[in-house]
Amino acid sequence: MVNETEALPCEGGCGLYGTRVNNNLCSLCYKKSVLQHSAALIFEPETEQSQCCPPMSSPVAEEEPVKKRRCGRCKRKVGMLGFKCRCGHMFCGSHRYPEEHSCPFDYKQSGRLALATQLPLIRADKLQRF
């Protein structure tokens, strides 16, 4: 009687041990082969495959690493509570004010432009003198 859970060297060549249940593959190589096989069935039309086993590479594309949100001044992690300044940087609670992080954004000029666009120019007609 053959034991199905007997540890055999992995046929994937990774150096780990596999079982007969997983086609003599370790759990990592077996998972990769199942993903590759299912992706081949989904993305490729039905054709005769010349190989009995799919290659060991994973079809899943690697995702870009998520950039952590940090304060532009002290580099502290700000998480969800970060304050985005008009200069375009993210800041923590102690550096959120423009005076605290030496903000290069010109608030006076932006305020003047906002008022000039929002308020209409009102001029009275010239009064004629008698």
Q: For a pLDDT cut of 90, what percent of the chain falls above it?
A: 22
Residue-level pLDDT at 50: 47
Report, as ranges of residue numbers, the positions in the chain whose pLDDT lies below 70: 1-5, 41-66
pLDDT number for residue 45: 53
Contact 36, 58 (CB under 8 A): yes
The confidence score (pLDDT) of residue 66 equals: 62
Question: Where do the domains of the chain lie?
Answer: 8-39, 83-118
Give the per-residue pLDDT at 110.
92
What is the pLDDT at residue 57?
A: 52
pTM of the model: 0.40
CA dihedral 75, 78, 79, 81 (to 10 degrees): -160
